[in-house]
Amino acid sequence: MSSRGPAAPASTHDPFIPGTLVIVSLGNPREKFWGMILALAPEGLRLSGVELASFEDIAAMAREGEPFTPAVVFFPMHRIERVVLDLPDGSLSSLSQRFFAKTGLDPSAALAPCSDAQAGNGLSAGSHALKERA
């Protein structure tokens, strides 16, 4: 068994890896996105997801079997104010849990860019809108 000194970090696990579901708060202009991390680098964040304001509409579309394509976006680091894990908070469900409850679809599969999983879930597997937000 190895022992850690008092200066050792409690955990070396980075939760912000590709595939993690997050909520991103942006500034200039103010926006919030829910989605899956594709890449996180010093330059910025690539995400496959939807604007938080559209969450209910997207869930309703998916529930009805209508195709939707999550946006694949790049946010430069200077726009990012906060990135939080999409986790439940006390008795409040996470957005991922709410999406699953409303649609029966796995949020990770629904937000995966151009995958066979989307085609299997009746979601659009066509090209994604690439939006660069500066």
- Contact 112/123 with Cβ under 8 angstroms? no
- Contact 24/33 with Cβ under 8 angstroms? yes
Does position 111 have pLDDT exceeding 70, yes or no?
yes
The pLDDT tens digits of the residues spanning 55-72 come to 999 999 999 999 889 999
Does position 119 have pLDDT exceeding 90, yes or no?
no
Q: What's the rounded mean pLDDT across residues 26-47?
A: 96
Residue 122 — very low, low, confident or very high, per pLDDT cuts 50/70/90? very low
pTM above 0.85, yes or no: no
**d(C-alpha 22, C-alpha 33), whole Å:** 8
**d(C-alpha 93, C-alpha 55), whole Å:** 14
